[in-house]
Amino acid sequence: MTDRSVATGDPTRRTALEMADALRAGETTARALAEAALEAVERENHGLNAWLAIDRSGALAAADAADRRLADARAAGHDAVAALHPLLGVPVGLKDLISVAGGQCTAGSRILEGYVAPFDAHIVERLRAVGAVIVGKTNMDEFAMGSSNEFSAYGPVSNPWDLDTVPGGSSGGSAVAVAAYHVPLALGTDTGGSIRQPAALTGVVGLKPTYGRVSRYGIVAFASSLDQIGPFARDCRDAAALLHAVAGRDERDSTSAPEPVPGALLELPASDDEAAAALRGVRLGLPREYFVAGMEPDVERRIREAVATLEAAGAIVEPVSLPHTDYGLATYYIVAPAEASANLARYDGIRFGPRRGPDDVLGEYLATRGEGFGAEVKRRIMLGTYALSAGYYDAYYLKAQKVRTLIKADFDTVFAAGFDAIVAPTSPTVAFRFGARLADPVAMYLSDACTLPVNMAGLPGLSIPCGLSEGMPVGLQLIGPAWSELRLLRLGRAFEAVTASAAWRGLEPAGLPAAADPAAPTPAQRATAAATLR
């Protein structure tokens, strides 16, 4: 791995662990890193719209506190410095559905406009405890429902590789914040692919951990049997460090599991030779059903090349079958909207959010919800309400839960046969242009065909960059058994090691210079122009 900041002189090019090393070596300060992050956001958010809120004073105060901790630890000696978490003093972005006490938490929706979070989410407490610097809140599809970030009530987000394309979603802002070098790390949530798909489309690492790995206390809920929090990073070592900081049991989320968090997440090898050894003799299954209809041929080529690279490095790759994959989409689009329709019943204008309409209870509910929710959220509430309504429950919701059993059993069978992990595409296509899938909800839903079965089964899934297709990033997905995040990250790190000298690794997103041009169009203007052309 090479330190890009050495070549460019720009501290934002450092990975989180490079920042940690530089902080410990006294080459930089947390304040300098925070200021560089804030400056990058200020320069480029006009052109990207990745951020919905910036907490300048909070970030600088946290950075100064981190510098004091570092100085105290240095004074106390080597052991005290070694005991510091690598994220001390490192800037982090948070998807705007994560509660930070005293700050906004819109979930990308008008219905939470003006809401002030009364408490910190569990993961925010954990980040504060290790001394990470929270820079601000990132843009997202409303209530995390979407695969393009075009369903944000606060405007679309541009993909830094081509500003006329989407970054994926729903955690589009978090993905872009990392891809555009604003911050080395960000947190998102993944219900059907909302971390992995935008990570793939923007050329960064994204991990959806095992269901129950990270406490969701303080996170706006979408579909509670599927939602999971996870990291965005520019490499697997950074992603592992962020997972290490936020994972673990929390009694305020009864679904968070008492599963030990491996300390080895902080010890992924820095040396490429050592890292590559993880591939020798590893058994990987390649599911034929994941090469879905509608997959772009060039994306398939990049995936097959990546598989060949894994084999050349000593992995044993064999075809496997996950026969119920084709039923995943329909199953997901019953289960997730059903759970969402229940979770979103709380947004009625009574306890929080703007209240609208006449002064009678029913009229107020109808107006508050009818005007406060956007089109996609209404669509999913309608679907979910219908699937749960009298007379249709057995045909839809119960049926979907039974098929979910079959989807999960597909994965169990592969892992029981001795496979260490499954290797697959993350997304069937590269980033698409604004508006391309807005007219047809089903076309948009197909974006997540390769990711949502993993949520249905509760498994961890990692997306890592594996090359470019006509200048746009392609993501490779690694799926493992429950609680195998460390294994997936070691394999991802090994892939980084064996492709370290690939030409595409040296490329920065082509749209970044234009994003910094104050005269250039905003993502909203680009989306409007695309709609006019259509």
Partner 1 sequence: MTSLSRADVEHVAHLARLGLSETELARLEGQLNHILDQYAILAELPTDDIPPTAQTIELETILRDDTVQASLPAEVVLGNAAETRDGFIVVPAILGG
Catalytic machinery residues: 95, 170, 194
Q: Which of 379, 502, 514, 522 binds partner 1 (CB under 8 A)?
A: 379
Cβ neighbours, 10 Å, residue 9: 8
- Of 197 and 210, the one with the shorter C-beta distance to partner 1 is 210
Q: Which of 142, 348, 420, 496 binds partner 1 (CB under 8 A)?
A: 348
**Minimum gap (Å) between residue 520 Cβ and partner 1:** 33
**Minimum gap (Å) between residue 409 Cβ and partner 1:** 9
- Of 464 and 479, the one with the shorter C-beta distance to partner 1 is 479
Q: Which of 3, 113, 267, 371 binds partner 1 (CB under 8 A)?
A: 371
Work out whether 423 is an interface residue with partner 1 (CB under 8 A).
no
Q: Which of 21, 164, 296, 364 binds partner 1 (CB under 8 A)?
A: 364
Work out whether 413 is an interface residue with partner 1 (CB under 8 A).
no
**Minimum gap (Å) between residue 125 Cβ and partner 1:** 14
**Minimum gap (Å) between residue 140 Cβ and partner 1:** 20
Backbone angles phi and psi of 533, in degrees to 5:
-70, -30
Strands 91-95 and 133-138: parallel
First to last CA, the chain: 44
DSSP per residue, 176-225? HHHHTTS-SEEEEEESSSTTHHHHHHHT-EEEEPPTTSB--TTB--S-TT
Work out whether 188 is an interface residue with partner 1 (CB under 8 A).
no
Which residues in 231-260 contact partner 1 (CB under 8 A)? 251, 254-255, 257-258
Strands 185-190 and 228-233: antiparallel
Nearest to 475 by CA among 67, 261, 130, 202: 202
Work out whether 386 is an interface residue with partner 1 (CB under 8 A).
yes
Nearest to 200 by CA among 475, 411, 506: 475
> Max Cα separation, the chain?
70
Which residues in 292-311 contact partner 1 (CB under 8 A)? none
- Of 3 and 251, the one with the shorter C-beta distance to partner 1 is 251
Q: Which of 395, 416, 417, 531 binds partner 1 (CB under 8 A)?
A: 395
The answer for residues whose C-beta is within 8 angstroms of residue 198's C-beta and 6 or more apart is 149, 167, 168, 169, 170, 171, 172, 174, 175, 176, 188, 206, 232
Work out whether 212 is an interface residue with partner 1 (CB under 8 A).
yes
Which residues in 315-344 contact partner 1 (CB under 8 A)? 324, 326-327, 329-331, 333-334, 341
Residue 286 to residues 291, 322, 383, 478, 494, Cα–Cα distance (Å): 10, 10, 33, 10, 18
DSSP per residue, 415-441? HHTT-SEEEEES-SSSPPBTTTTTS-H
- Return the structure tokens found at 370: 């009818």
Which residues in 476-515 contact partner 1 (CB under 8 A)? 482
Work out whether 71 is an interface residue with partner 1 (CB under 8 A).
no
Q: Which of 360, 470, 518, 532 binds partner 1 (CB under 8 A)?
A: 360
Binding-residue total with partner 1 (CB under 8 A)? 74
